[in-house]
Each structure stands twice: as C-alpha cells, then as structure tokens.
Amino acid sequence: MTDAGLDAILACDFATVYYLAGRVFDGFVYIPADADPVWFVKRPVHLAGDRVCHIRKPEDIPSALEELGAGLPARLGLEMDLCSYSLVERLKGAFPGAEALNASPALRAARSVKTEEELAQVRLSGAKHVGVYSRIPSLYTTGMTDYELQIAIEYLSRKEGCLGQFRISGSSMELFMGNVICGESADAPSPYDFAMGGKGMDPSLPVGASGEEIRPGCTVMVDVNGNFTGYMTDMTRVYSLGTLPKIALDAHQCSVDIHVEFRRLAVAGASAKALYEMARGMAAERGFEKYFMGHRQQAGFVGHGVGIEINESPVLAPRSRDILEEGNVVALEPKFVIPGVGAVGIENTYIIHSDRAECVTDAPEDIIPLD
C-alpha cells in the first residue's frame, strides 16, 4: 500500500473480502496503512467483533470511521478494476475529501504471494483434485458422450467435497465446474479467455462438453474445478479410447517435456515472459507451433496464477512483465489441438520456491486409456 501511495484501501469484491477477512460478508473491508483493519458489514447482520461496524450503506462509512477515532484518508484505494463504475462513483462521493486511486494492482500483487496457511489450502485442494482424477476411468461406460462423462465427473467431485464455485476475477470468462472436451469440440473457438473451451450444449454458454459420443481415435481432455478449500488448484489430464495417431502422442509428450523444463526453471526471480517463450519455443522446435494453445484460435498465454480465483498473477504470456516470487502459485497448461483427434497436453499447479517448483497436482502424466 505504501509503495502504491495509498493511505487506505476500501475493498468489497467477495473474493477480496474472503482474502482479507477469512470469510465472506456483504460490505467493505477498510485497511488503513497504519492501523488495524475495520469491517463495515451490511450482511449478515449478526456478525460481531472488535473491529466490526454495521452499516446500511457505504455513505455511513466516514462517520463510522470518525466515531472510531480514525482519520479520513487523503488517498483512498478502491477496486477500480472490479467494482462497477456506478459503485466507484458512489464511493468517491462518500469520501469527497480523498483522492481516489486504483487499489486493484496492489491487491492483485498481494494475492499472488501466498502465505503458508494459504499454501496449505492449495496443497489440500491439489490432493483432493488428484484423487478425483484418478477415478475418472472408472466412470466411463461404452457409448458415453462427453457430456455424460462431464456430469459424472462433476458429481464425483461434489461427493469428494468440491465446493463447485469457480471464482473468476473480472469479466473475461464464464464457466460451470470445468470442461470435458472430446475430439473436434476442442477446435471450437471459444469467446472466453480459456486455453480452449469446447462447443458447449447451448448458445447461451459456449463452453464444455457438446453432447458428442466419445469415439475411438479421439482424445478426451478433462479440465475441471479443483476448488475444495476456497483455494483452488487447476489440473488437466487426457484420456483416450483406442489408438491415437503418432502426432497426438508426440504433441502430448512435448507438453510433458515442457513441464519438466518448467520444474527446473520456474523459481523465484524467473521471468514469466521467458517461461512462456520456453514453452512456445519447445513447441516450435518439434513442429507443433500451429497447434499450440489451440488451432483455429490460439490462446495467448501458457500459464497463470491461481488461488481464490482461477485467473491471478503472475501470467505466463508473451508481453508479461511479471517476475516469479516465492509463494506464487502457478498453473502451467501447455496444450495442443490436433485436428481430427482432439486436445492433448497436461496442466499442473505449482508452488514457486526459491530453488524449485513444487507440483501440487502430482499424478500420472501419460494419456490414460478409458477402456
């Protein structure tokens, strides 16, 4: 906050509140640079505590601060990248003496370096995530469609304690529980900011399974929700029926090899852009550049931070200026779409340390037969 020139931050996005308060409430978390936080709560009405003030509307906050003996901030950080224009204008109006600045970059940077407690939650989600995926072949029955497999995986995940909620920062994506993408559906260009999306079952939600029967010679890419603790892991594995063409096997191996390089290179101090270039370079060396991160439409990243939300910092992309730090949690997902076959490649979630990248979704990485 001090680096960002802020005297205080006033945050209200649910994910931010959960991060700052350890629980979700409707209201605002107020963090002065030089005093303890205050929770301004609208709902639930019974929330009580030392630094909890109940309010009906944001305009109540300045007088509540004065009653607490706190001064009003000269430079107030607001979540300008997340809160609506109308809300930010309203908050600015409630603090007419303050200069309003954007606190979203500072919050995003803080969220990208996880505490030990947060990392424990990530590891726990990862363990459960791996457990669910290990049972996917047992769900398959002959003649199943990608949709039938997707919803069977969803039910298994929920039985294992998946919270279902898939928190996404901002407005670049919509998703329900994840994607199971089979064959040509992998080449359906998605409107969303995913590595790849799938056709979906309805124009109102063009993502995920499309209702096609899973056939021999196609791949089934599974990338479903790993939110078991409020902190999610992101994981993708590939399954198949029958024999796949060599090009698909080789592209999948390329992805696995990119992960091996990543484990070596992705330590504190590494450049996110350089890691993107490493992955893209390995794909190009082996002749897979035109299938890298999609075919008809290629996604412009190969990895991203995860935590409370699926799309956090750092981002592994061609113009990224991010430098990896200890405590970053990064999902790496070098994927390829092979026309006529489907998507291949794996995704793991890693915790970044000073000397290594720790994989928290440690599971077999080959293409797994469904039959």
For residue 183, the minimal CB distance to a copy of itself (Å) is 18
Q: Where along the sequence are the contacts to a copy of itself (CB under 8 A)?
A: 12-14, 18, 22-26, 43-46, 78, 80-89, 102, 104, 151, 154-155, 158-159, 161, 163-165, 170-172, 174, 176-177, 189-193, 201-206, 229-230, 296-297, 308
In the numeric block, the tokens 């979203």 are attached to 104
Buried/exposed code over 62-93 (b: 16+ C-beta within 10 A; e: otherwise): beebeeeebeebeebbbbeebbeeeebeebee
For residue 151, the minimal CB distance to a copy of itself (Å) is 4
For residue 207, the minimal CB distance to a copy of itself (Å) is 9
Letter for the amino acid at 46? H
Q: Which of 308, 297, 336, 160 is nearest to 234 (CA)?
A: 308
For residue 350, the minimal CB distance to a copy of itself (Å) is 22
CB of 19 or CB of 239, closer to a copy of itself: 19
CB of 2 or CB of 171, closer to a copy of itself: 171
CB of 204 or CB of 354, closer to a copy of itself: 204
Give the β-pairing of 8-11 and 75-78: parallel
The contacts of residue 236 (CB under 8 Å, 6+ apart) are 221, 222, 223, 333, 335, 345, 346, 347
For residue 192, the minimal CB distance to a copy of itself (Å) is 7
| Tokens matching residue 141 | 């029955």
CB of 84 or CB of 354, closer to a copy of itself: 84
CB of 23 or CB of 51, closer to a copy of itself: 23
If one counts every other C-beta atom within 10 angstroms of the C-beta of residue 216, the result is 11
Would you call the peptide bond into 44 cis, given omega within 30 degrees of 0 as the criterion? yes
